[in-house]
Amino acid sequence: MSKYIFHIATVEIPVSNLDRSVEFYVDVLGVEVEFKGEKNAMLSFQSKGVPTIFLVETEERNSLSFVNSNDRVEHSVIDFYTPSLKEFHESLQEKNVEVGPLNIYQEQGLGGFGFKDPDGNLLSACNVLHQGQ
């Protein structure tokens, strides 16, 4: 463990319309608004040790994702944890959120799926907990 860095404090996400994005993240992820200015907002899960989400309005049209050069699969840079993966997937579909296929490995029952925010930023949900989480 580093003697200087202890955890991720904040994940910053570029958005084109702050009000629309705040509404999306509050509705879809259930976060609370800690602060909202003209061009940025801090959102929180209200859980100890969990990073906050800082939405920053920008005119740049770069969305968050990258393509794995090995298998050409598009990846998100953020995975959100849910113990109710199938139910969350269905909830997003009911809200007309763009979602990818639900991938669950039957042997372990673990998996995930991708979904997009209003700006096309690729986000993911998974039911995998790692040591210390």
- At 70-106, the pLDDT tens digits run 998 888 989 999 999 999 999 999 999 999 999 998 7
What's the rounded Cα separation, in Å, for the pair 127 and 133? 12
CA atoms of 39 and 66, how far apart (whole Å): 25
34 residue type, one letter = E
Of 80, 125, 72, the closest CA to residue 100 belongs to: 125
Return d(Cα 109, Cα 130) in angstroms, integer.
15
**Domains, the chain:** 1-60 (3.10.180.10), 63-133 (3.10.180.10)
**Phi, psi of 88, deg, nearest 5:** -65, -40
pLDDT in tens, 5-45: 877 899 999 999 999 999 999 999 999 999 999 999 999 99
